Amino acid sequence: MSSTDYDKGMVNRRRVLGAAWVDKSLANRNDFNTEFQDLITRYAWNEVWGRPALGDKTRRLMVLSTMIALKSYEEFAMHVRAALDGPPESRLSPDDIKEVIMQAAIYCGVPAANHAFSVAGSILREKGLLAGEAPRASNPT
């Protein structure tokens, strides 16, 4: 693969996750994980997220459900934030996220969905997007 594949992947990665998250991730590169960061940028973000058949919104829905199925809640949280803050054409609403979790409850199990609701609910509260609740600080003191 060429550096062009990396560059294309980086464009997709920044578009989907946001520049701040990607910059933070890249700042944490070291001798141990740099090759992995390059790999996921070239393959996941260029070869997969760059495919034309599915749009970003569909891919976001798929990633959220996959992260619930795998019980990868840290990645789930990252993608919930990215989905809520993404470009308007691929942004997910709280109701979209709720529907993903409801679907996952049937196919992935109630405990996985219960935890996903907790994770997503915390993020929605933090952003002031949970109906009927005031925004909360992410680090209350």
* Domain spans, the chain: 1-53, 55-141
Report yes or no: 21 and 82 within 8 Å, Cβ to Cβ.
yes
Is residue 12 predicted with pLDDT exceeding 90? yes
**What percentage of the chain reaches a pLDDT higher than 70?**
91
Distance (Å, rounded) from C-alpha 52 to C-alpha 35?
Answer: 26
Is residue 141 predicted with pLDDT exceeding 80? no
Mean pLDDT (whole number) for 98-123? 98
Is residue 110 predicted with pLDDT exceeding 70? yes
Burial class (CB in 10 A: 0-12, 13-18, 19+), 2: exposed
| CATH number of this structure's domain 55-141 | 1.20.1290
* Prediction pTM value: 0.86
Report yes or no: 130 and 98 within 8 Å, Cβ to Cβ.
no
Mean pLDDT taken over the chain? 93
Q: What are phi and psi of 50, to 5 degrees?
A: -90, -5
Is residue 35 predicted with pLDDT exceeding 80? yes
What does the buried/exposed string (b/e) look like for 69-82 if buried means 16 or more CB atoms within 10 Å of the residue's CB? eeeebeebbbbbbb
DSSP for 79-92, written as a single string: HHHHHHHS-TTT--
